[in-house]
Amino acid sequence: MVVFDRHDPAGGPAYFVALDFAGDAVTGIRDFLFARYVLDGAELRTV
């Protein structure tokens, strides 16, 4: 899940949250709020 800064509507993604699923249940959440540098090497695409 890509998160944008609502105070910077023209800006790009601020950070992301990785969600793990098993069927319909969320089994893990990794929030990269304080590790925004991971976006530097990320390839983002829409599906």
Q: What is the pLDDT along the chain (47 residues), one digit of tens a residue?
A: 999 999 998 888 999 999 999 999 999 999 999 998 988 888 888 77
Beta bridge partner(s), residue 28: 20
Please indicate, yes or no, whether the overall pTM of this predicted structure exceeds 0.85. no
Neighbours of 16 (CB within 10 A): 19
Distance (Å, whole) CA 28 – CA 46: 22
Kindly state the greatest CA–CA separation across the chain: 35
Distance (Å, whole) CA 38 – CA 40: 5
Domain ranges (residues) in the chain: 2-41
Distance (Å, whole) CA 44 – CA 29: 18
| Radius of gyration from C-alpha coordinates of the chain | 12
